[in-house]
């Protein structure tokens, strides 16, 4: 396949100046799989701090970006501001923003379009609730989230998809290896049909949702799982084991 293994660490609304410095220093000194692409996403207040101290070869992501250029948008961050600051990625469509802040598919797609066209790569999150899974609507919900983006973005070379079942985020529950692979395979098939064969082949699809060093090795073996978007575990030494879980 040739898709580079990818690990994203989403710090969410956690951290302080001292703890971010400690996390970055520890990450800089850790023995990491040289073939893995690693991106960390601290809170916006610490993006520059992380970028300043993080070693070359490791990247920093914003946890959000707005879909308009610089202007009268209180509290938001623009694509230009991220790019000027050396921030090369943004996490968009995370379920916490979809659910808590009511971001709909169209808004997520608009932000993804603005980021990609402005030179920022995107970790595009998608996922279903427990009710939707139990109603056998997982693929329908996930592909609807992706279709909104495909309607606005034709070039997916700067997009990494992260499948995160909402019912498994921060709950300790994890989709079984078979459940995760099934959805990842369906996403890849959808990309082939709705975007292009090239996008299906090259787009990395990550799994997220209570990923730990204990389950990452088995998940990483699956044909369509190309890495992980890690939440709480990215704040712990276990993060290094997850980064290295694709090594033979």
Q: Can you give the CATH number for the domain in which 131 is found?
A: 3.20.20.70
Instruction: Please report whether residue 83 resides in a domain.
Output: yes
Instruction: Please report whether residue 29 resides in a domain.
Output: no
**Annotated catalytic residue: which of 37, 96, 164, 213?**
164
Tell me what pLDDT residue 1 has: 52
Spatial distance between the Cα atoms of 199 and 196, rounded to a whole number of angstroms = 5
Instruction: Please report whether residue 46 resides in a domain.
Output: yes
State yes or no: is 53 an active-site residue. no
Tell me what pLDDT residue 167 has: 87
Tell me what pLDDT residue 246 has: 93
Give Cα separations from 150 to 105, 113, 156, 195 (angstroms): 11, 9, 8, 7
Which residues of the chain, if any, have pLDDT below 70? 1, 248
State yes or no: is 201 an active-site residue. no
Tell me what pLDDT residue 247 has: 85
Instruction: Please report whether residue 149 resides in a domain.
Output: yes
Instruction: Please report whether residue 31 resides in a domain.
Output: no
Instruction: Please report whether residue 248 resides in a domain.
Output: no
Instruction: Please report whether residue 148 resides in a domain.
Output: yes
Number of domains present in the structure of the chain:
1
Residues 6+ apart with CB under 8 A from 89: 8, 39, 41, 59, 60, 61, 62, 120, 121, 122, 123
Instruction: Please report whether residue 19 resides in a domain.
Output: yes
Spatial distance between the Cα atoms of 45 and 92, rounded to a whole number of angstroms = 17
**Annotated catalytic residue: which of 94, 96, 184, 213?**
94
Domain span at residue 105 reads 6-24+36-50+58-243
């Amino acid at each position: 396949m040739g898709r580079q293994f990818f690990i994203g660490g989403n710090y969410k609304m956690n951290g302080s100046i001292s703890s971010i410095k400690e996390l970055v220093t520890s990450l800089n000194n850790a023995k990491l799989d040289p073939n893995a692409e690693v991106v960390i996403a601290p809170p916006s207040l610490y993006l520059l701090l992380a970028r300043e101290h993080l070693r070359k070869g490791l990247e920093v992501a914003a946890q959000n970006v707005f879909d308009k250029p610089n202007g009268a948008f209180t509290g938001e961050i623009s694509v230009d501001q991220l790019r000027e600051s050396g921030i090369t990625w943004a996490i968009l469509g995370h379920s916490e923003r979809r659910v808590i802040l009511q971001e709909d598919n169209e808004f997520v797609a608009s932000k993804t379009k603005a980021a990609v066209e402005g030179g920022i790569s995107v970790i595009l999150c998608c996922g279903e609730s427990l009710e939707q899974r139990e109603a056998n609507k997982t693929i329908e919900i996930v592909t609807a989230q992706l279709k909104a983006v495909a309607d606005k973005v034709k070039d997916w070379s700067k997009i990494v998809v992260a499948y995160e079942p909402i019912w498994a985020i921060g709950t300790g529950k994890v989709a079984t290896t078979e459940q995760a692979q099934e959805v990842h395979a369906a996403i890849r098939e959808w990309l082939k049909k709705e975007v292009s064969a090239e996008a299906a082949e090259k787009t990395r699809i990550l799994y997220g949702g209570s990923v730990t060093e204990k389950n990452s090795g088995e998940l990483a073996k699956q044909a369509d799982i190309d890495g992980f978007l890690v939440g709480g575990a990215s704040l712990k030494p276990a993060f290094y084991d997850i980064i290295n879980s694709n090594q033979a």
